[in-house]
Amino acid sequence: MSKSSQKTPWIWIPSLYLTEGLPYIIISAVSVIMYKQLGVSNSDIGLYTSLLYLPWVIKPIWSPIVDLLGTKRRWFLSMQLVLSFFFLGVGLTTSGNNFFFLTLAFFWMGAFASATNDIASDGMYLIALKPEQQSFFVGLRGTFYRVGMITGNGLIVMVAGYLETSLGDNTKAWSYTMIIVGGLMLLLTAINFLATPKIEEEAPEKPAREASFGKVFSTFFTKKNIGISLAFVLLYRLGESQLVKMASPFLLEERRTGGLGLSTSEVGFMYGTIGVIALLLGGILGGIAISRDGLGKWMIPMALSLNLPNLLYIALAHFQPDNIVYAGTVVVIEQFGYGFGFAAYMIFLIYLAEGLFKTSHYALATGFMALGMMFPGMLSGYIQEWLGYTGFFIWVGIAMIPALAIAASVKYPREFGKKIE
């Protein structure tokens, strides 16, 4: 085994998954804040930014190509590099007359690159680690994926808020912010070039390179209990898929129109400081819990952990507290609950991908995950404008009922994910 293949997962997993989470959150969520601050309506924000999920939905179509051509490492490094240029393109087009169309076009191309980066990065995780290591490191993996997301939703948003205030021009502020994001992606690409091991597929994965596209797909959809498994993937985050699109507009919205009237910097600070600490703690504890006891013991507690904190937004919308501490407390609870509850979801996706074509099958599973985020998110802005913020968050609470029901019904080995002594 070469020296490069022995690089410790404690280094390359954090860097790789931070670089997976950052572009995803910039495209899917920070774009929401950017467009809100540039005067785009909630209905347009909900519809068009949710359509950006489509590449993650359809990525299974080209996932076998990542298996058939080149190496996983070459794929994710290439995609990370081009992402830096797409974000630069967003930054250079925010001031144009057709900024909404142009920036969406760059976000759209970036979404395809980011989805391909996900396929290759997840493939690296699956082929470079033994099954018991996959369970042990799922907390670290999920945590740094979320750290990447919090870097975008926290630090990057704080930078944008600072620039809004200092420049007095939201357009320039977001232009500079997206140029900074492009530079950050370039830096992370260089780090991954140095940190990730040069490892090729082992024998169990080699037949996947010789398989036809048809066999890759047919073996996935003929898995045991595939119907209820896909229902779980689609419904587990039904409430969150809508909340995530309207939470930031709610925090930023003026109080007279139902929001909390926070500044861009305040929202970024909440997510980027106390939020990330809560997230790290929840994610690490979630991975440890499943590694110790198996998925069966923790599925329902983790489903509750992910969904119940969403109910706190109802109180925020109803009472509209002046003190930022209340909103910050909700963010802390929601981020911890998400980090802890998401561990069960990720372990189930790994279980669903088990078998000969695990890289492509994992891409299929995460494609359905993105589908479960896209369609509800597309409708979220219209539902919010129809029901108001309080009514919308009540609806989000109702949406967790099918999520909890399917978590109680889905089939899997109860000991799956448990560390082998």
The reported pLDDT for the residue numbered 357 is 75
Q: Looking at the domain assignment, is residue 2 inside a domain?
A: no
Tokens of 266: 């305040």
pLDDT digits (tens, 9 = 90+) for 213-256: 677 778 888 898 999 999 999 999 999 889 988 888 899 888 99
In terms of average pLDDT, the best of 160-164, 195-199, 276-280 is 160-164
Average pLDDT for the chain = 86
Q: What is the CA radius of gyration of the chain?
A: 20
Q: Looking at the domain assignment, is residue 45 inside a domain?
A: yes
Q: Looking at the domain assignment, is residue 1 inside a domain?
A: no
Give residue 39's domain range.
8-409
Specify the number of domains making up the chain: 1
CA distances from 82 to 121, 185, 237 (A): 15, 9, 30
Confidence tier at 6 by pLDDT (50, 70, 90): low
d(CA 95, CA 361): 41
The answer to whether residue 44 scores a pLDDT higher than 90 is no
Q: Looking at the domain assignment, is residue 416 inside a domain?
A: no
Is residue 146 a contact partner of residue 287, using CB atoms and an 8 Å limit? no
3-state DSSP call for residue 204?
helix
Which CATH number does the domain housing residue 20 bear? 1.20.1250.20
pLDDT digits (tens, 9 = 90+) for 281-291: 888 888 889 88
Tokens of 371: 């589908």
The reported pLDDT for the residue numbered 202 is 42
346 contact partners, CB below 8 Å, separation of at least 6: 138, 141, 142
The answer to whether residue 344 scores a pLDDT higher than 60 is yes
Q: Looking at the domain assignment, is residue 417 inside a domain?
A: no
Q: Looking at the domain assignment, is residue 3 inside a domain?
A: no
The reported pLDDT for the residue numbered 212 is 58
Q: Looking at the domain assignment, is residue 321 inside a domain?
A: yes
Q: Looking at the domain assignment, is residue 88 inside a domain?
A: yes
The answer to whether residue 384 scores a pLDDT higher than 50 is yes
